[in-house]
Chains A and B, each alone.
Chain A
Amino acid sequence: EDKVVQSPLSLVVHEGDTVTLNCSYEVTNFRSLLWYKQEKKAPTFLFMLTSSGIEKKSGRLSSILDKKELFSILNITATQTGDSAVYLCAVPPRGKAAGNKLTFGGGTRVLVKP
């Protein structure tokens, strides 16, 4: 059974701090790893990672994948209160039969205090 584990479960930081979120996975036939940000409603897409060692950046957010050690990290630099959210990582399995259903990690709840 595919497994995705995120850590820490939650963290509280102050504006301007940098946070690093971890996502480790055990998946048969890995294809990609997805990061989402969830505030009050449905998750919004952040990154899709397929190749090891290539950092993806979007503003103050960046993410990288290590396919050898089976994990990914999501970094947020110079955090702002608007970064407060639950960050989810998810892995879709390879193969038609799987229907590409996503296996989600438990999420990391980030609270950024002013």
Chain B
Amino acid sequence: GAVVSQHPSRVICKSGTSVKIECRSLDFQATTMFWYRQFPKQSLMLMATSNEGSKATYEQGVEKDKFLINHASLTLSTLTVTSAHPEDSSFYICSARAHGSTEAFFGQGTRLTVV
């Protein structure tokens, strides 16, 4: 299957700082990338959908100014958590989909801890 690389896998940051998470499709062009958040023992919650070269579409309740998403190329999308707070601590996962494909491939996830 296709490979999606997410980096970093784990990050600890101080309150008030910003953290950037990268999601790369290594062997295919990802026209669409999805960012999810997962709380302990819960399912994945979609945060936003990004299409290459256009603004991301955020799900209801997700603050676009806090979770900045950039999808500048067909192989890279970034999620920046700005002015992080302890309640932003979570597991963030990206997935990427090639044009015309139903299947989405997941990155390894990033565990963010804000102290």
Interfacial residues, chain B to chain A (CB-CB below 8 A): 1, 6, 9, 32, 34, 41-44, 46, 49, 51, 57, 93, 95, 97, 102-109
Contact = CB atoms under 8 A, between A and B. Distances in A.
Contacts of A88: 43-44
Contacts of A99: 32, 49, 51, 57
B98 to A, nearest CB: 10
Contacts of B102: 31-32, 34, 48, 92, 100
Contacts, number: 54
Interface residues of A, number: 21
Nearest to A94: B102
Contact of A43 (B42, B44, B51, B97): B44
A88 B49 CA distance: 20
Contacts of A78: none
B105 to A, nearest CB: 7
A100 B104 contact: yes
